[in-house]
Every structure is written in C-alpha cells, then in structure tokens.
A and B are shown apart, each in its own frame.
Chain A
Amino acid sequence: MRASPTTALLMLAVALSAGACRQDMHDQPRYEPLEASSFFDNGMSSRPLVEGTVAREMPIEKTAFYTGRTPNDEFVTELPMPLDRELLDRGRTRFNAFCSPCHGQTGDGLGMIVRRGFKQPTSFHDQRLRESPVGYFFHVMSNGFGQMSSYASQVPPQDRWAIAAYISALQLSHNIPVDRLSAEERQQLDDSIVGSAEAHPRAGEE
C-alpha cells in the first residue's frame, strides 16, 4: 500500500507535534531538591534533620575551630588557621555579601538595610570592638547577638573565620598611625579625604 501525499503529510504533522508533547520523561517519579510532596504531613519532600544531628566532617570534641573558644571557655585571640592573602580575599567577598548590607562595606554600621530602618549596630571601629578578641566575632556570627540573627546556616565555619580575619584587617586599616604610612600613601590619603568630602558633603562635618 502506498500512502497518498495528504496522508503522508498528516502523518508528518502528527509525528512532529507529538514530538513536542511533554511526556513522562520530563517529570520522572523522583523528587528534585525542595520539591513539594503530598506524602508527608508538612508538604516537604526533604525531611528535617533529627535533633542532635552533626555533620559528618564535624569532630565530636568541640575544638576552637567550631566554638571560637579555648578549653577554659575564653574567646580565642588567634585564628585557628594560618592567615594568608587567600583567606583575607575570601573574607572580603563573604563580608560584602553577608554583613555589609547592615554593617556597611567599611564596618561603620551604616549599611543600606540600616538606612531603611534596621537597628544600627555598633561600628567595628569602636574602641570596645577593636579590643575584642577574634573569637568574639566568630561567636556572634555563629550564635547571633541581640537583634542580629545567627549566620551559622548561611556561612560555614571556615568562611566565618575568613570574615573574622577580614574584620580585623578592616579595623587595622582604620587605625594606622599616619606616621607609619609612606609619603606616597599619605598623599593618597590626603587626596581621598578631599575626594570623599566632595562626594559626601556630610562626611566633612563629622
């Protein structure tokens, strides 16, 4: 039997349009991350962690790396890892993403969210915070502080230390005696102060 041209065309059209149909392979009987489920009571396919669950890489004993504290419960004053350029760079990107919305890029506590009405935190360049040990910053990020929530679920421990290291660098950068700068750097500083006073007239008044 030979198909007439019309039948052939019709078959072609059916084949082409059937090819565009969504079929079972598009939506297979498995869950994607965060997909809703009608099986469980709360509608989530991902199950909540059993209370007391620890991550596989977490040690049983509480080291300074996870608590920011020494064995006799004081905040550590040194980073539990070597400080290098890479750690500071990492800290800078994480600080700018997670902290600067409120604490500001320089740590002055005047971030965008604060300008929109969030409680204003103390500047990191305040005397009290300049003298706080690095473990204190790790502790605040891990457990929250007053109106600030914990960032433990958003920032893993390694990155929290990187941020703490970067905050120390920020504090240092704001408190270098002028006579420790080279002549060139002093010139740059003068230029930038003039520049920023022009850009933000209010800065000059303070």
Chain B
Amino acid sequence: MSQIFKPSTNTLARVTLFGALFFALVSVWILVSLNRSAYATRQTIVRMQPVPFSHDHHTEAMGISCLYCHTSAEDSAFAGVPPTATCMNCHKLIWNDSPMLEPVRASFRSGEPIQWARVHDLPDFVYFNHSIHIAKGVGCVTCHGRVDKMPLMKQAVSLQMEWCLECHRAPQDFVRPRSEIYNMEWEAEDQAALGAKLVEQYDIQSMMSCSVCHR
C-alpha cells in the first residue's frame, strides 16, 4: 500500500496552518479598521438640510461668534441649534427675498420649527456635557474642527470612545485659555508649558472612570 501522506504534505500542512492564522489576523484587522473608518463613524458625510446654511459665510466672512447662535453651549449640556427668530434678526432685512431662505420665512410665519438634520449624535448610553468642557478650556475647534471653513456642516472627528479617552487621559495636551474658546485660529506657542499651567489654574482632572460617561 502506497503512503497516503507524501513528504510534500508537510509543507501543505504548514501552509494551511499559517495561512489560517494569517487569514484570521487579516479579517480581524479588516473588521477593526472598518469599525474606525469614516464610513462607520459617519464622519465627513454632509447631510441634506432644509436650508443650505453655511458656517463659512456666517462665521468666517461675517465674524459672527458661535455664541450668537449656539447660546446654551456655555451653561448647559446641549449646545443647541438656534430658533428661526435668531435667523430673522438679520434676514428680515438681508436677503429677505432670496428663495433659498423661503423655508426660514415660512417657519417664522407659521411657528413650525425648521427641521435640521442632526450631524453629531452620540449613542444614548453615553453622557456628554458641553458646559464642563467649555468651563475647563476646551475650544469648539478641538472637537468640531474648522467649522468656519465648512460651507455645509460635517463631523470632523470620529466621536468614538477612544477619541474621548485620548483627551481625558491627557487633557493638558488640548486645553486652551477660556478667552480663546470660540477662536478657530488660535494655536498655543508652547502647549506643554501652557497646558501644565492651565491644568493647575482651572483645576482640570483626568477623568477616566467608566461612570463619567456611562452613567
């Protein structure tokens, strides 16, 4: 009776074994990177809005502060989206016959709110609060990117847990003076020295406990 396993089978067995291991590792890697990809985090996707509102035109060109519209960012959990009346402060006189702004005027007449599509949305099991971040010197640009260069709003960061933790682990690398919160262009000359000073001054802690965000 001839041998069932020839010497070459040894190689085949090795190739199969290592191949299987390799395949397993590659599929894990693919899954992990898929999970972090812009596709999964819905980053950079521009959503259809009822009015093509441009942050670029209103903040960069016109110098309107974020605070003018997002009034509650400083003292509540929610930054808020402005009511129609805020748009009408200016648009009752400016561009008041533009068809692009018809939904705004219709909403003002009828009292029905404009239905903006939500761009940033954390899962409901995560607790987030704007006011603490502003009070401890985290600027809008650190989390939302160059909003003043966005003709249409998009999410600039992944908003995944590892992104939150990167800063919570070492807040000194990201904080800025409170006076520069709304400044989109500000950059520290020496973040290491400034960070250390601000951590002292604002009493900033590194909050890593799960119950900070999952409560």
In Å, the complex CA distance between A17 and B32 comes to 10
Is A119 among interface residues, defined by CB-CB distance under 8 A?
yes
- By secondary structure, the B interface counts as loop
Q: How far is the CB of A44 from chain B (nearest CB, A)?
A: 6
B81 & A13 in contact (Cβ 8 Å cutoff): no
Among A43, A98, A147, contact of B93 (Cβ-Cβ < 8 Å): A147
- A26 touching B124 in the complex, CB below 8 Å, given contacts A116-B94, A149-B89, A154-B68: yes
A 118-158 binary contact with B (CB < 8 Å = 1; else 0): 11000000000000000000000000000101000110000
Bound Cα distance A154, B77 (Å): 17
Within 8 A of A (CB), among B135-162: none
Q: Is the CB of A43 within 8 A of B113?
A: yes
Q: B125 on the interface (CB 8 Å rule)?
A: yes
Q: Which of B6-14, B20-28, B45-53, B168-176 contacts A (4 or more CB under 8 A)?
A: B20-28
Bound-state Cα–Cα, A116 to B93, Å: 10
Complex Cα distance A112/B64, Å?
9
A36: nearest chain-B partner, CB-CB? B115
Nearest A residue (CB) for B69 = A154
Q: Which of A27-35, A66-74, A182-190 contacts B (4 or more CB under 8 A)?
A: A27-35
Q: Which of B64, B68, B80, B113 is close to A44, meaning CB atoms less than 8 Å apart?
A: B113
A33 to B113 Cα, complex, angstroms: 14
Whether, in the assembled complex, A178 has its beta carbon less than 8 Å from a beta carbon of chain B, the answer is no
Contact check: which of A16, A33, A112 meets B78 at CB < 8 Å? A33
Within 8 Å of chain B (Cβ to Cβ): is A12? Answer: yes
A30-B40 in contact (CB<8A): no
User: What chain A residues lie within 8 Å of B113 (beta carbons)?
Assistant: 42-44
- A117 CB to closest chain B CB, in angstroms? 5
Contacts of B208 in A (CB 8 A): none
Chain A contacts of B115 at CB under 8 A?
Answer: 36, 43
Q: Residues of B contacting A33 with CB < 8 Å?
A: 77-78, 80
A118 touches B65 (CB 8 A): no
Q: Is the CB of A119 within 8 A of B89?
A: no
Q: Which residues of B sit under 8 angstroms from A13, Cβ to Cβ?
A: 27, 31
In the assembled complex, the CB of B62 is this many whole angstroms from the nearest CB of chain A, namely 5
**Residues 22-76 of A contacting B (Cβ, < 8 Å):** 25-28, 30, 32-34, 36, 42-44
Q: Is the CB of A20 within 8 A of B85?
A: no
Known: A28-B124, A43-B113. A116 touches B62 (CB 8 A): yes
Evaluate contact between A42 and B94: CB separation under 8 angstroms.
no
Of A43, A118, A154, which is within 8 A of B90 by CB? A118
CB-based nearest B residue for A154: B71
- Residues of B within 8 Å of A113, CB to CB, are 62, 90, 94
Nearest 8 A/B pairs, CB to CB:
A97-B65, A26-B123, A28-B124, A97-B67, A33-B78, A149-B89, A16-B31, A112-B62
Q: Which residues of B approach A to under 8 Å, CB–CB? A: 20, 23-24, 27-28, 31, 34-35, 40, 62-65, 67-68, 71, 77-78, 80-81, 83, 85-86, 88-90, 92-94, 111-113, 115, 123-125, 179, 182
15 contacts between A and B (CB under 8 A): A12-B27, A13-B31, A16-B28, A16-B31, A20-B31, A20-B34, A25-B123, A28-B124, A36-B115, A42-B113, A43-B113, A116-B62, A118-B93, A149-B89, A149-B92
Q: A9-B27, A43-B115, A113-B62 are in contact. List 11 more A-B contacts (CB 8 A).
A: A9-B24, A12-B27, A12-B28, A26-B125, A30-B124, A33-B77, A34-B81, A98-B67, A101-B63, A118-B90, A154-B68
